[in-house]
Structure 1
């Protein structure tokens, strides 16, 4: 079955590209001793976890359903974290997680007794330094609610926890910048870290980016671990699935209102939300930097500013032509929604042996069921 037989829109995950990233993760683990847990907030398509699981140590979550998903479908270590737990949330996951990380001292005090003897207990700390391209995603932004800041830290609580988590990076492709953050943490918190069993350094470290110096990162992680005698964790998401997945769409119309706009059967608002949220234009496989023909690639939603990018092509686009929107896995499938009642993209995986597996597909009944299940009449 060829790809042209699949109805658009759809995601196509490439197993070979995924394994390329995972081999880099394996190299980092072996050289540094760090453990890696997949950040499900970035990528939760469990139909391809069979590819990922042999390389990583488990999963980490940002909410109770992700804890359950990680426990049921990924295995290994299951880390539970949330910015705000309810008591019901804690009771629901206490028996299925290996580590529970609280975001605040008040939540730690309120719920510690519910997990004592069941899971290793951790607390998120906010080091006050970070690497992030946009304020919206900066964990150390002004008035951040994420983690406990140093000047608010109740030091005796270190006697009641086993580890801490620092999440301070967002798409950090600069190994030297990460090492500088690591040194800052060691200087500010080192005396307290020496009392602990483990430290998670969170996600956002883009060690699979082309040209990234994995050996330099590994050496820094190993030194930190040995200095403070702790087991280190990283929580990669984007680093695992970057450049592995295309969102394939079809041009359904071409309009010209001062600029030519190719309207495709997908929408950033519904199917690639971070393009809209962070104002980061998508990239197209078919585009040509010096192409003669320029188009706005517009969505079929009713939101006026909903467009994927502006791109140039060597030939004019045609209605019915397919386009591949590159790097569409991270923070994409986990944010799909039914805005405008648009058709939800199916999900496929191009396996190394050449076959294509169908991972998921959706129809009208899925759309209808998310809005109401029972009538009041």
Structure 2
């Protein structure tokens, strides 16, 4: 199978690049003693879990289907968390999770009897401090519903749980900023942490970013763990799959209305939703900062503002030309949708030996079935 024969749009996961990130994760574990569980809310493409499993300790979830997916396809430790469980949700995962983390003291009180004796019980705390580039993704934003605020904690409740979870980072590439958050947590919650078996520090720590000081992070994590006598967990998502995957698209038209626009056979709203939600332009492999030819890379959806980015190229783009939208693994495949009835990207993995493996493809019947299962006629 040759890449030139593949029909766009498609995702291509590069095994060698994935292993590069995983080797950094392995080093962090060895130096710090921290355990790492993959955040399935970011990346759930289980067709490549065979690559990831030897490096990580398990998975963590944000809903019952992710718990089941982690248990069935990844193994190791299965952590269950949700902002809001129903009783049915808790019963569905009670027998397959190793840790269940509740978002509030009221949910803990309502459902802990279902979990006791089956899984280690945890509670999410909101530290009131965070590192996030945008308010939308800031767990400690004003009026946050995520975790129990410090002044709302019932000390008697914390005496009845095995661990706590803090999630306070989003794409944090600054090890010193992370260390300062650890110090703030120790200062505010240390008396509680000293009585815990484990503490999860959530995700959003970008320790695989180029130039990140992994040794400094490891030392901070190890010191925190020893200070409070707890097993530490991180819940990496983007850190594991960053820079591993391209969304490959084809230019299907060129139009000009004040600016040249290359329309491609994909859409941010359907295939790369976070580009639209966070207004963060995508990066194109073929682009050149010094290029003389500037284009809007526009989607083929009907949404007027749906575009991937504005980019410059050394040569004029041509209809039929392929473009690689880089770093397209995190929060993409988990958010794919059928807006406009667009063709869903096929998912491939290029293995280290050069073999291209098809992980999933979608057709009209998948689109049709997602909207209705039974006919009234």
TM normalised by structure 2 equals 1.00
Aligned mates of 2:168, 2:158 — CA distance in 1: 21
Q: How does 1:25-40 map to 2 (within 5 A)?
A: 25-40=25-40
SS in 1 for 2:373: coil
Shift in Å, 1:376: 1.8
Q: How does 1:234-245 map to 2 (within 5 A)?
A: 234-245=234-245
Per-residue CA distance 1:93-138 (angstroms, 9 max, x = gap): 0000000000000000000000000000000000000000000000
- Please name the residue that 2:75 is paired with: 75
- Please name the residue that 1:169 is paired with: 169
Per-residue CA distance 1:317-351 (angstroms, 9 max, x = gap): 00000000000000000000000000000000000
Q: Which blocks of at least 5 consecutive residues in structure 2 are unaligned? A: none
1:137 aligns with 2:141: no
- Please name the residue that 2:301 is paired with: 301
1:158 aligns with 2:133: no
Aligned mates of 1:203, 1:365 — CA distance in 2: 36
Shift in Å, 1:2: 1.2
Q: How does 1:1-377 map to 2 (within 5 A)?
A: 1-377=1-377
Aligned mates of 1:29, 1:196 — CA distance in 2: 20
Aligned mates of 2:324, 2:66 — CA distance in 1: 29
Aligned mates of 1:360, 1:57 — CA distance in 2: 25
Deviates more, 1:341-350 or 1:153-162: 153-162
Aligned mates of 1:178, 1:366 — CA distance in 2: 43
SS in 2 for 1:160: coil
Shift in Å, 1:265: 0.0
Shift in Å, 1:91: 0.2
SS in 2 for 1:255: strand
Shift in Å, 1:375: 1.0
Per-residue CA distance 1:151-199 (angstroms, 9 max, x = gap): 0000101221000000000000000000000000001000110101000
Shift in Å, 1:315: 0.2
SS in 1 for 2:195: coil
Structure 1 stretches of 4+ with a deviation exceeding 4 A read none
Aligned residues: 377
Aligned mates of 1:321, 1:57 — CA distance in 2: 42
SS in 1 for 2:167: coil
Shift in Å, 1:210: 0.2
Aligned mates of 1:226, 1:38 — CA distance in 2: 23
TM normalised by structure 1 equals 1.00
Aligned mates of 1:255, 1:177 — CA distance in 2: 45
Shift in Å, 1:314: 0.3
Q: Which blocks of at least 5 consecutive residues in structure 1 are unaligned? A: none
Aligned mates of 1:124, 1:152 — CA distance in 2: 12
Per-residue CA distance 1:185-224 (angstroms, 9 max, x = gap): 0010001101010000000000000000000000000000
Aligned mates of 2:373, 2:348 — CA distance in 1: 28
Aligned mates of 1:159, 1:327 — CA distance in 2: 43
Q: CA RMSD in A?
A: 0.3
Per-residue CA distance 1:259-281 (angstroms, 9 max, x = gap): 10000000000000000000000
Aligned mates of 2:159, 2:249 — CA distance in 1: 54
